[in-house]
Chains A and B, each alone.
Chain A
Amino acid sequence: MKLRLDGRIVYRGVLVLFVSVFLLSGCRTMEPVLDVGAALGVSTGVVTSGQAESIRRSAVAVGKTFEDITPEQEYYMGRAVAATILGRYRPYPDEEANRYVNLVGQTLAQASDRPETFGGYHFLILDADEINAFAAPGGFILVTRGMLRLCQNEDQVAAVLAHEIAHIQGRDGLRSIRSGRLTSALTILAAEGMKNLGSGELAQVTEAFEGSVSDITATLLNNGYSRDLEREADRCALMFLGRVGYDPGALTTVLKQMESRTQKSGSGFGRTHPDPIERIMDLGGKPAGVSRPAVPAARQARFQQALGNV
């Protein structure tokens, strides 16, 4: 028997397979953005080329790009970023509401591509009317009362938190550190190896730490991430929602609600995030006619119980 394959059928089959593999792959891979070698200061005469090579080799053991920052180091940066934000926003100490947000958020985080960070994921409500949420490195996620008031059900709370978890997974905060800062700290550590740092070196490392925290905080509070990173975070959020069993359409719904409530010139999400309508379009959705599947009564009841008065 002679087997004859139609070229178009083969082509379609291969294309379907190709697209399937793409969709099944994870949200994002992390690519290096820094080159320690390029920033060692050889050209400026800070170190000789021989020293630079030695440092370059040693730096491998300590870390050479933002992605080589260990989860432990990321954790300490995240603590300082969260503490800085908490110096500007008061926490909302309602135990039941915070417990509920942690139940939703920590469960979602387990379904991400990065379920384990050094210190785990933790969520806290901020006592602020503005619509906003922040993801400090390592898993410290802060969400305002204003943002939670915008949510009409648990699925929408999950959508907001999933977006922040995606920023943690992508280590987006660390990407906003200016390259020179990390390199200076890593260079000192690499050059000094395991010796106890002298007070001068410790001061320099602390300065790099402060600068990194400042860069991340400025991005979270004022500048925002690029539209590409936001688009990616939304895409990952849809994935996490689907895996856990929440309605992925809740993200589009909450974005639509955000659009009607935020002002571009105002504070919070309106200033640091792309226009919600653009984000909805990026997700392939239509701003109007968003579906809202019925939320089970027990789920809605516990949402009302925990966040009804937030």
Chain B
Amino acid sequence: MKPIRAVSVFCIVFLLASTAWSGPPAAMSVQVQTGQVRSEPSFLGAVLASLAYGDRIDVIGQQGDWMEVAVPGGSRGWMHRSALTKKKVVLNAGWQDVGTGASSDELALAGKGFNAETEGLFRERHRQADFLWVDRMERFVVYPEEMLAFLKEGGVKPLKGGAR
């Protein structure tokens, strides 16, 4: 095979493989404190609803990193992949969950591992660490409508489609 043809074949195979669509998982869980459901698959989309950590949603479509989801209550919207996990989030896990999930890669155990209790022990040992200001930091919240107004006011024009 000539080098040019070999490179072409490789590129075509790569393209086919990288664009192959295997379909989104049917159901996913919210893996962040507050998951935002947007009107369109973009960070510029209006927030239609907020879902809580561990909430299960049905995925009905996918566009890049955005999942089209059926929101409890009947409406549809888009959630970014980073807010979701294929695993079922178990908020109050017990032994039974371990038995079913230990070898199935299906569970994410909320509150296990590094958590508020671990932080409490850490704080006792590291008195100089300033968690007060970390708490204050967390109260700096910018809402989506404020972001859009901020961009408009400053003449900052996002690319159509914006984030993937």
Chain A contacts to B: CB under 8 angstroms: 7-8, 10-11, 14-15, 17-18, 21, 25-26, 57-58, 60-63, 69-73, 76-77, 79-80, 82-84, 86-87, 91, 98-99, 102-104, 106-107, 110-120, 122-124, 140, 154, 185-186, 189, 193-195, 202-203, 205-206, 209-210, 212-213, 242-246, 296, 298-299, 302
Overall SS of chain A's interface: helix
Q: Is B112 a contact partner of A124 (Cβ separation < 8 A)?
A: no
Contact with B15, one of A21, A98, A299 (Cβ below 8 angstroms): A21
B73 interface hit (Cβ, 8 Å): no
Is there a chain A Cβ closer than 8 Å to B48's Cβ? no
Closest to B14 in A: A18
Report the Cα distance A104→B154, complex, angstroms: 11
Does B19 sit within 8 A of A, measured CB to CB? yes
**Alpha-carbon distance between A80 and B118 when the two chains are bound, in angstroms:** 10
Q: How large is the interface on B (under 10, 10 to 19, 20 to 34, 35 or more residues)?
A: 35 or more
17 A-B contact pairs sorted by A residue (CB < 8 Å): A18-B11, A61-B98, A61-B107, A63-B113, A72-B53, A73-B113, A86-B129, A86-B130, A102-B142, A110-B144, A111-B43, A111-B162, A123-B137, A194-B95, A194-B97, A194-B98, A243-B163
- Which of A58, A79, A299 counts the most B-chain CB atoms under 10 A from its CB? A79
Does B108 sit at the interface, judged by CB under 8 A? yes
Binary A-proximity of B124-164 (CB < 8 A = 1, otherwise 0) = 01101111011011101110101100110111111100111
Check B153–A72 contact: CB distance below 8 A.
Answer: no
For residue A113, give the distance in angstroms from its CB to the closest CB of chain B. 6
B140 adjacent to A99 (CB under 8 Å): yes
Q: Given A18-B14, A76-B116, do A102 and B140 touch, yes or no (CB 8 Å)?
A: yes
Q: Are B36 and A206 in contact (CB under 8 A)?
A: no
> Would you call B63 an interface residue if the criterion is a C-beta within 8 Å of the partner chain's C-beta atoms?
no
Does any Cβ of A come within 8 Å of B18's Cβ?
yes
Are A11's CB and B7's CB within 8 A? yes
CB pair B138–A70 under 8 Å, yes or no, is no
Distance A237 CA – B117 CA, assembled complex (angstroms) = 35
Contact among A79, A113, A115, A123 for B134, CB-based, below 8 A? A79
A188 to B104, CA, bound (A): 19
Contact residues in A for B53 (Cβ distance below 8 Å):
72, 118
B23 contacts the other chain (CB 8 A): no
State whether A70 and B31 are in contact (beta carbons under 8 Å apart), knowing that A103-B146, A213-B122 are contacts in the complex.
yes
The one of A84, A118, A299 in contact with B129, judged by C-beta atoms closer than 8 angstroms, is A84
